[in-house]
Each structure stands twice: as C-alpha cells, then as structure tokens.
Amino acid sequence: MLYSLRKLSPVFVRSGKQFSAGRWIHGPNPLPPNPEIIHDMVHFKTSPNRHSLGVQKVKKGVEDDVWDNPFQHSVWTEEEVYGVKKTHVDPHDRADSLALSAVQAARWTFDTLSGYKIGNITESKVINRAIFLETVAGVPGMVGGMLRHLRSLRTMNRDHGWIHTLLEEAENERMHLLTFVTIKKPGPIFRLAVIGTQGIFMNLFFLTYMVYPKICHRFVGYLEEEAVKTYT
C-alpha cells in the first residue's frame, strides 16, 4: 500500500504540511515528534472503558473499570422534562398516512398480544412494555446510519452529520433499554419474542429504507409520538 502511494506521489500533504513518503510515521526514518501537535486520542489500554475482549488495562489513576459513553448525550433539566408537550404531525401524503397506519397497527398488536390493555395496568406491564419498545426503537437509527454510511462510501461524498445523528439515536434507545433492565430482568419467553420481532422488523425496515427512506423517517417520527404518549 505504501509502495503504491510512493509511486503515485513522492509527497503526502497532511494538515497543510508536506511529509515525505519515505519518512512516514512508521517508516524506517520516522518523523521527529512535533511539540506543536497535540494528540487527543487515548489508547484503549489506558482508557477507563472496559474492553470487550478483556484486554488487560494499564491503570492510570483509575481504580475501577468504568464506561464513559463516547456519544453526545445531553442531560435534560427538570424544567425541560416537564415542559415537553404532546404534538402530532398530520399526514401530508400517502407515505405519511402509511407510516402512521403502520405505527398504529404495531401499537395495537403489541398492546393486545402483551395484555397491556386487558385488566388493570400494573407496574410489571409498564416495565415489560418499556423494555420491549426500546428493543424495537433502537433498530431504525442503526439501520439508517449503516445505509447512509454505505451510501457515503459508494458516492464518495460526505454525509454532513446524518450518520452520526442516526447512530446517536440508536445508542440513546439502547441506553434506555439498559436502564430499564436494571429494574426487571426479562425471562426466556420475553427474550424469544424480542428475537423474533427484531428479526422481522429489522429486515422489513432495512428493505424499506433502501427503497424509500422518507417513509422510514416518518415512521420513526410517529413512533416517537407514541413514546411521548406512553411516558407522559
């Protein structure tokens, strides 16, 4: 790879400065350290995050392994939380109407099969509902971010922030789920239902997003409207 780059051009341009290909950072004659360059990258062995493969960490003033979420996650004030108002976007075309109908059908099916509306609403029903919905809500952002990432690679153009926004949304929903499961641990039947639903919904949403992304974004919008109704 480096040999090919040398054939194309003897000089690399990086950060407004020219670097000889023969003096690349890992080459036989590496560049001397520049005190003006400040590295903000942290090696995974010295970061406080627990490594998924159990790699031994080098302790640097951190006694316990902790996890610091790398995504942007704003913390709402109490005033902001209670200031949320229920809103609804009326359908403007057939795609919007189809998205709204799909969300309403999904909610009715889940409420019926889970017994949410049968008898009194108990704490267990509320927790089960929240956990299940979060396992579904975390899918659209990941699918959208992945497909837009692939599109950016194909077209060789920037995405201007959409990829990160969608992935942050998926991470946000996953954190909701992990918060709820600290209250109640789902049983084997519940987990099987999640696996089945995820397999169906993931593939349907994936195929639909490739054909018509607009309806998928509107679907998520109406899904979030239902979330506001549920949590308000």
Q: Average model confidence (pLDDT) for the chain?
A: 78
Query: Which 8-state DSSP code applies to residue 74?
Result: P
Q: Other CB atoms closer than 10 Å to residue 46's CB: what's the count? A: 11
**84 token code pair:** 């949320």
pLDDT confidence of 15, banded at 50, 70, 90? Answer: very low
Where in the chain are all domains bearing CATH 1.20.1260.140? 92-231
CA dist 148 and 152 (Å) reads: 6
Higher pLDDT, 6 or 196: 196
Predicted structure pTM score: 0.67
| φ and ψ at residue 60, rounded to 5 degrees | -135, 70
Which residues are bridge partners to 11 per DSSP? Answer: 20
Fold held by 92-231: Ferritin (1.20.1260)
- Closest among 152, 184, 146, 151 to 167, alpha carbons compared: 146
Q: Which residue has the tokens 């359908």?
A: 91
Residue entry with tokens 């994936």: 206
Q: What is the pLDDT of residues 99-116, one digit of tens each?
A: 999 999 988 888 887 777
Cβ distance 12 to 5 under 8 Å?
Answer: yes
- C-alpha distances out from residue 135 to 10, 26, 129, Å: 51, 44, 10
Instruction: Characterize 2-18 residue by residue with b for buried, 16 or more Cβ atoms within 10 angstroms of its Cβ, and e for exposed.
Output: eeeeeeeeeeeeeeeee
**Residue 216 CB-density burial (10 A; 0-12 exposed, 13-18 middle, 19+ buried):** buried
- What number of CA atoms fall less than 13 Å from residue 173's CA on the CB side? 22
At residue 25, the pLDDT reads 45
DSSP state of 142: H
User: pLDDT for 133-169, tens place per residue?
Assistant: 899 999 999 999 999 999 999 999 998 888 998 999 9
The angle that helices 94-113 and 123-155 make with each other, rounded to 10 degrees, is: 140
